[in-house]
Amino acid sequence: MSAAAEPAVCWLILNGKSAGDDAVREAVAEMRCRGVWLAVRVTWESGDAARWVADAIEAGASSVVAAGGDGTLSEVAAALAAHDLPAARLPALGLLPLGTANDFATAAGIPVDPMEALALVACTGAGPVDLLRIEADGTEHWCANLASGGFGTEVTVETDEGLKKLLGGLAYLVTGIARLGRIEPLPVRLRGPDFAWDGGLIALGLGNGRQAGGGQALCPDALVDDGLLDLTVIPELSGELLATVGTLVKEGQRAALERSAVRARLPWVELESGEGAMTLNLDGEPVQARRFRIECVPGRVRMHLPADSPLLGQPSGRLRGDGQSG
């Protein structure tokens, strides 16, 4: 369908790995039958998403839908944020979850069924959501969901499958340390408004969303519309290790996180590695730097989310299907 004949109301930017997905094809066909004007563009290599987003803006699209996993969502969101336009003049962002983990969609309550996900975009208005802007040794990046560091980005630890199922993501981390003792804490300095922390950490979460790595809820209380990032630091556990593992078994992952973690909610934070470059994983993209500045940019884009999404803290007015807030 040619965008030149009539501007597309909605552009679907589809990760090339899912180009042959029959359920997506059927959902697109059904939405077109319902009168929703959909243009489909497929990404194949780096830079494709940014090019399609630029074309969608030029064509006057009301929405762009990232069809893929958390990395695709972040890539499309970053492409929108890179344009020197306010959120109200940019197409709204939608998500059709097609990834392996779909961490943002899971936390946000976005349906994984392609038809339901596209119907959400068509029938629900878009409201403002925050993004994380990261400066890594002077280079700018954007992150829609969660930036993580330490365990999981630097080290792979083998853990029994039964223990993974029993204890969950954080337990996988702590139990791996307890069993194998192969993780060296990363010395870092963190600074933000009325916040400072200096020490060795084994895991770090900087959340706009709540979870990463297939369900590891490093920032379980994060909201996407509060203008703040959620910071979680899991320091080297030393003598606390056995008590933390005991809490995992008796009370669950969140209780163990509360026991061991340093938590803060900040508009920005600066991170400096004490030993050369460190790696932050930005929605699946590893970025190495000695110094990072992570800033929450309030309302940088508008996004189609369920009105009762757990990630929303403000009344959304997301009722109409015209791509505008109600």
What is residue 176's three-state secondary structure? helix
Note the CATH number of domain 10-130: 3.40.50.10330
Task: Calculate the dihedral angle through the C-alpha atoms of 98, 100, 106, 107, rounding to the nearest 10 degrees.
Answer: -120
Contact 189, 272 (CB under 8 A): yes
Q: Where are the domains of the chain?
A: 10-130, 143-298
Question: Which pLDDT belongs to residue 167?
Answer: 39
The whole-angstrom separation of Cα 296 and Cα 317 is 23
To 10 degrees, what angle do helices 253-260 and 161-180 make? 20
Give pLDDT tens digits along the chain (326 positions): 344 444 458 999 999 989 888 999 999 999 999 999 999 999 999 899 999 999 999 999 999 999 999 999 999 999 999 999 999 999 999 999 998 888 999 999 999 999 999 999 999 999 999 999 999 999 999 999 999 988 654 433 333 444 344 434 454 455 444 444 556 788 999 999 999 999 998 889 999 999 887 777 889 999 999 999 999 998 876 555 445 544 444 444 555 566 678 999 999 999 999 888 999 999 988 999 999 999 999 999 999 999 999 999 976 545 444 434 43
Task: Calculate the dihedral angle through the C-alpha atoms of 168, 172, 174, 175, rounding to the nearest 10 degrees.
Answer: 110
Residue 95's nearest CA partner among 303, 285, 281, 297 is: 303
CATH architecture of 143-298: Sandwich (2.60)
Q: First-to-last CA distance in the chain?
A: 30
Contact 132, 102 (CB under 8 A): no
What phi and psi, each to the nearest 5 degrees, are found at residue 246? -60, -40
Tokens of 277: 């470059």
Contact 218, 209 (CB under 8 A): no
Question: Which pLDDT belongs to residue 2?
Answer: 40
Residue 143's nearest CA partner among 263, 314, 323, 286 is: 286
Bridge partners (DSSP) of residue 285 are 282
Task: Calculate the dihedral angle through the C-alpha atoms of 144, 145, 150, 151, rounding to the nearest 10 degrees.
Answer: -140
Residue 12's nearest CA partner among 127, 137, 89, 117 is: 117
To 10 degrees, what angle do helices 48-59 and 70-81 make? 50
| DSSP state at residue 117 | H
The whole-angstrom separation of Cα 237 and Cα 241 is 5
List 135, 240, 270, 285, catalytic entry: 285
Tokens of 145: 């969901």
Residue 161 to residues 82, 175, 217, Cα–Cα distance (Å):
41, 12, 19
285 in active site? yes
Contact 11, 63 (CB under 8 A): yes
